[in-house]
Amino acid sequence: MQSELVSLLPRLRRFAVSLTRNGPDADDLVQEACIKAMANAQDWDRSQTLDRWVFRILRNHWISELRKRQVRLGQGHVDVHETEELITTTTAEHDLAARQVMGRLAGLPPAFSSALLLVAVEGYSYKEAAEILGIPQGTVMSRISRARALLADQLSLVGGV
Partner 1 sequence: MNDLSMQLSALLDGELSTAEAEALQQKMQADPALQAEYDRLVSANNLALAEFAAMLEQSLPLALARTVSQAPLAVPANMPRAPRPWLQIAAALALAVLTGTGGYMAGQRQGAVQLAAADWVAEVATYHKVYAAQGRHLVEVPASESEHLVSWLSKETGVPFTIPDLSAQGLTFEGGRLLVAAGQPVGQLMYRDASGAVIALCFIASDKPASETVRRDLDGFDALIWGKPGARFIVIGPKGDDRLPEVARIGQNI
Q: What is the 3-state secondary structure (H, E, C) of 25-72?
A: HHHHHHHHHHHHHHHCHHHCCCCCCHHHHHHHHHHHHHHHHHHHHHHH
The least distance separating partner 1 from the CB of residue 92, rounded to whole angstroms, comes to 21
Site string for partner 1, 71-100 (x = CB under 8 A): ------------------------------
Give the contacts of 104 (CB within 8 A, at least 6 positions apart).
151, 154
Report the alpha-carbon distance of residue 11 to residue 102 in Å, rounded: 13
Confirm or reject binding of residue 69 to partner 1 (CB under 8 A): no
Confirm or reject binding of residue 117 to partner 1 (CB under 8 A): yes
Residues lying near partner 1 in the complex (CB under 8 A) are found at 1-3, 5-7, 9-11, 13-14, 17, 23, 27, 30-31, 34-35, 38-42, 101-105, 116-117, 119-121, 125-126, 141-142, 144-152, 154-156
